[in-house]
Chain A
Amino acid sequence: GAGVSQSPSNKVTEKGKDVELRCDPISGHTALYWYRQSLGQGLEFLIYFQGNSAPDKSGLPSDRFSAERTGGSVSTLTIQRTQQEDSAVYLCASSLWGSGAYEQYFGPGTRLTVT
């Protein structure tokens, strides 16, 4: 079946511009997660959604970062007024939800370059 998809695969933007990154989770997965992978910081948790709600936004690095999820499916991560330190690979994952540790299935990522 189809896995997690992300678009675009690559994005180059100028400093100060806004960007939107999209994630399509696996059908039926109620939980959705965003992570960031950068050379200096490794893989960092950003935010997760249970349905359309985001109970934990603690990983968002600043108020320039926001995310939403609609219809319990597609999610968009928005970065406003991008800075060079925002350059990274942004990974999305999805999973079932309930008791126990469900496997998170990762998408291929969006590589963001801020020039």
Chain B
Amino acid sequence: AQSVTQLDSHVSVSEGTPVLLRCNYSSSYSPSLFWYVQHPNKGLQLLLKYTSAATLVKGINGFEAEFKKSETSFHLTKPSAHMSDAAEYFCVVSEGGSNYKLTFGKGTLLTVNP
């Protein structure tokens, strides 16, 4: 069975400072990993995905994530936060043989302070 743990339910940063959202996963098979973002009253949007190619994955809006198999982690980072980054972020896993079934973490609410 697959599972995802987002280590922080809430992260608060100042505009212009780095962002780190932490995610650990558990999977019996070769996983695919995703980060989705959900802005208030908006639908979920894919930020980036890892599917066994390069371990450092670049996404939209300057976000990137690194797949570390030895640590079973897939942390999301951004060098400099912008006010528009304030949203809820979900780390998501799907197992290689059943990539249709997404398992979501509980989410991390990112607050960006001016």
Contact = CB atoms under 8 A, between A and B. Distances in A.
B106 A42 contact: yes
Interface residues of B, number: 22
Contacts of A105: 46
Main secondary structure of the interface of A (DSSP, over half): strand
Contact of A101 (B32, B36, B42, B44): B32
Contacts of A104: 46, 102
Contact of B101 (A56, A91, A109): A56
A72 interface: no
B106 A103 contact: no
Interface string A82-115: 0000000001010101001111111111000000
B49 A103 contact: yes
A42 B77 CA distance: 23
B51 interface: yes
Interface centre among B43, B45, B100 (most CB of A within 10 A): B100
A17 B105 CA distance: 32
B27 to A, nearest CB: 12
A33 B94 CA distance: 14
A35 B98 CA distance: 16
Interface residues of A, number: 26
A91 B99 CA distance: 18
Interface in B86-114: 90, 94, 98-107
A43 interface: yes
B103 A102 contact: no
Interface string A26-53: 0000010101000000111100101000
A90 to B, nearest CB: 12
B36 to A, nearest CB: 8
21 contacts: A35-B102, A42-B104, A42-B106, A43-B90, A44-B104, A45-B101, A45-B102, A48-B100, A48-B101, A56-B100, A95-B100, A100-B99, A101-B34, A101-B49, A101-B51, A102-B99, A104-B46, A106-B36, A106-B45, A108-B42, A108-B43
Interface of B: 32, 34, 36, 42-46, 49, 51, 90, 94, 98-107
